[in-house]
Amino acid sequence: MHIEIERRFLVSPVALSWCRDGTDIEQGYLRADGRTTVRVRIADGTGVVTIKGPRCGCSRFEHETPVSLNAARALLNRIPPHMKVRKTRYEVEVGGLIWEIDVFADLNAGLILAEVEIDDPDQAIVVPHWVSREVTWDARYSNSQLARRPHSQWTMAA
């Protein structure tokens, strides 16, 4: 169990020129009530169940438990499509930190987000030029919300 401290940003497609060897990810949500999130993920042929607590700024409790690929598939198969997200993740090093760039698929196609984990909420970071704006505090950009209300279904005023 640890505290995840993470900032999230919208990304310009220009960033894709730095992206190599992505990992396809499928994840679904067993629970996402705004306080606790329980996620099942398959990435690189590996299954994991993650429990996340409520967000406090850019921090939240997180606990991951590896599960067999068969168990992860069985759980994902029980989750309705409107509670799943598919994306390809790329890792890019900038300013000594690893930025995870997620290129979304399906009803979130066209959305590109970057996340960077830091050690302290006040830690200064080098923001790459391909970042357009920070969305850390905009709950619509959380993966669990993108599963329920995909980016393609947002109105222009949203």
Active-site positions read: 29
Picking from 144, 76, 139, 146, the residue whose alpha carbon sits closest to that of residue 108 is 146
| Cα gap 149→146, rounded to integer Å | 5
Picking from 47, 49, 50, 51, the residue whose alpha carbon sits closest to that of residue 70 is 47
Q: What is the C-alpha R_g of the chain?
A: 15
| Cα gap 1→63, rounded to integer Å | 5
